[in-house]
Structure 1
Amino acid sequence: MRDGEAFIAAHTAPARPALVPEVELFLATAITPIWQATEDWLAERNIEPPFWAFAWPGSQALARLMLDGTVQVAGRRVLDFAAGGGLAAIAAMLAGAESAEAAEIDPLALAATRLNARHNGVSVATPEGDVVGQPCRWDTILAGDVCYEAPMTGHIFPWLRRMAQEGAEVLLADPGRAYLPKEGLAAVARFSVPTTRELEDRDARDVTIYRVLG
């Protein structure tokens, strides 16, 4: 069986996200080389970009809120939804969460989360499969930058709203994506997050964190 963690460690380097210097992640500096290397390693073509190799603005903003104590997660069961490399889940554990779970459908993203969590001295669960549709077993659900495509938003948002109805605190961090729902959200905080031209068309993104209303 191929070792995803070893592949990631060989093609990235430890770095600290601009807004969350407390956490060190294995990150790529450019998207094309890591994308090509991933296709070669998987022996596949036309795969999705390796989102796990970057600290996205939404995840950075959510991590900052938890580490600053603005969002309280101590003693809570936390889900990092569409976790990428697991930044928000790691920050939750550093902020005292009882447990953190990273939800991703990309096996390499789960491998990146395990590698990053171990590197930061915390434990994050990485079950496989799509959690959308599952019953609520979390106290806090974090979703960073998930409204970039209409099908994705249509798939996840009704479920996130149901999680809020069932008692979870659901926080969605959005850097101005086109498919953010117009209703059912309450803004709670805003950040300007430095980003990279490898991913964005600007040097910083204004990220708003919303509470999803039940």
Structure 2
Amino acid sequence: MSRAISDPNAFIRAETRLRPVPLVPEVSLHMADEAVPIWHRTEEELGELGLPPPFWAFAWAGGQALARHVLDHPETVRGKRVLDFASGSGLVGIAAMKAGATSVTCADIDPFAVAAIALNGAANGVALAPTQDDLIGRDDGWDTVLAGDIAYERNLAEKVFAWLLALAGRGATVLIGDPGRTYLPKDRLTKLAEYSVPVTRELEDMEIKRTAVWRPA
């Protein structure tokens, strides 16, 4: 049984430091220096072992590429209602607001991520709408849906991509950032751009990941 988390904001501030994102220096995030120590401390804080990595504490390759693409192509979000799905740190949502989105909902089921999104939004001078709701299958009328690094687990990827393709089918702009994860359905997508993204070897198999931005075909 998890014990109550008294102050996620204090935990995030204590375990990370605010610094620019390598591929997106216009944005600064509360990021951890090393993966393993914060991973262990997150498990201790929650009273649970075997948790997934603290995705909110790092700028993952898919998110960096997607954020770069949004800032370089602001027409994808300008004046639009945007969903940043599986938001993690809020990086992509922050980029969308900086590029002129009317509003950005940042969705992540991790309570630490929801706290990190709010902190990172404030640090970058933008107002985000964090939510811990599981939005898969929902359609709240978003104009643009952004999703980074979502193809790493088979069952989840199948469920998420069926939903994203349905949103694209009714007219939403859907953009996906992915560094070559196993379960990306490339046969149903079109590549828009590719970036060389600096990442940590603790979390990836190399220091530079070739990462693409895709849209439904």
Give the TM-score normalised by structure 2: 0.95
Give the letter for the 2:82 counterpart: V
Determine which of 197, 205, 213 is the counterpart of 2:209: 205
Give the letter for the 1:11 counterpart: E
- In the other structure, the counterpart of 2:11 is 7
Does 1:17 find its partner at 2:46? Answer: no
SS at match of 1:164: helix
SS at match of 2:146: strand
Unpaired runs of 5+ residues, structure 1, are: none
Determine which of 89, 107, 116 is the counterpart of 2:120: 116
RMSD: 1.2
- In the other structure, the counterpart of 2:160 is 156
Distance in structure 2 (CA, Å) of the matches to 1:95 and 1:134:
25
Determine which of 105, 111, 125 is the counterpart of 1:107: 111
Distance in structure 1 (CA, Å) of the matches to 2:75 and 2:164:
18
Query: Is contact 1:65–1:71 with CA below 8 Å preserved after alignment?
Result: no
Determine which of 7, 19, 34 is the counterpart of 2:38: 34
Distance 1:122 1:162, change over 3 A: same
SS at match of 2:44: helix
Counterparts of 1:43-122 in structure 2, within 5 Å, are 43-69=47-73, 71-122=75-126
Distance in structure 2 (CA, Å) of the matches to 1:106 and 1:48:
10
Give the TM-score normalised by structure 1: 0.96
Post-superposition offset of 1:62: 1.1
Distance in structure 1 (CA, Å) of the matches to 2:41 and 2:94:
26
Determine which of 159, 173, 179 is the counterpart of 1:169: 173
SS at match of 2:177: strand
Distance in structure 1 (CA, Å) of the matches to 2:130 and 2:35:
24
Give the letter for the 2:50 counterpart: N
Identical aligned residues as a percent: 50
Distance in structure 1 (CA, Å) of the matches to 2:154 and 2:39:
24
Post-superposition offset of 1:182: 3.3
